[in-house]
């Protein structure tokens, strides 16, 4: 198991699982007609994947610029997802509108 960490293979396995998660959730949405929005889901998973790539780069001794680039990618994907969430919240996609009154209560 130590070798899997030393050469970064553990991250490859995790990234494979993340890819399977994306396929499963997008397939679920396609079959059922509901589920996470594809763009938001992919932005969320891209953020996590970029963080995992930063870990892998650090594990294998890549230069600081590679790690920094992966972290910048994670930040970009995370900010994209947050913008989508705030936009969806403002348009009422979460079941309420911006003018629905007190936040955190239901009718």
Q: Are 22 and 48 in contact (CB under 8 A)?
A: no
Residue 31 lies in a domain: yes
Task: Give the pLDDT score at 96.
Answer: 46
Q: Are 74 and 54 in contact (CB under 8 A)?
A: yes
Residue 59 lies in a domain: yes
**Which ranges of the chain would DSSP assign to H, the alpha helix?**
2-6, 9-32, 38-59, 64-90
Q: How far is CA 64 from the centre of its chain?
A: 23
Residue 25 lies in a domain: yes
Q: What is the pLDDT of residues 24-77, one digit of tens each?
A: 999 999 999 888 889 999 999 999 999 999 999 999 999 999 999 999 999 999
Residue 14 lies in a domain: yes
Residue 100 lies in a domain: no
Task: Give the pLDDT score at 29.
Answer: 93
Output the pTM of the full model: 0.75
Residue 98 lies in a domain: no
Structurally, how many domains does the chain consist of? 1
Residue 104 lies in a domain: no
Expressed as residue numbers, the domain containing 52 is 2-90
């Amino acid at each position: 198991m130590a070798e899997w960490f030393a050469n970064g293979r553990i991250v490859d396995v995790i990234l494979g699982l993340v890819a399977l998660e994306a396929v499963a959730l997008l397939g679920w949405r396609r079959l059922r007609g509901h589920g996470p929005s594809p763009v938001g889901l992919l932005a969320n998973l891209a953020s996590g994947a970029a963080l995992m790539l930063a870990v892998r780069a650090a594990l294998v001794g890549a230069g600081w610029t590679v790690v920094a680039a992966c972290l910048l990618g994670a930040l970009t994907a995370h900010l994209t997802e947050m913008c989508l969430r705030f936009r969806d919240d403002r348009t009422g996609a979460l079941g309420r509108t911006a003018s629905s009154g007190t936040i955190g209560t239901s009718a």
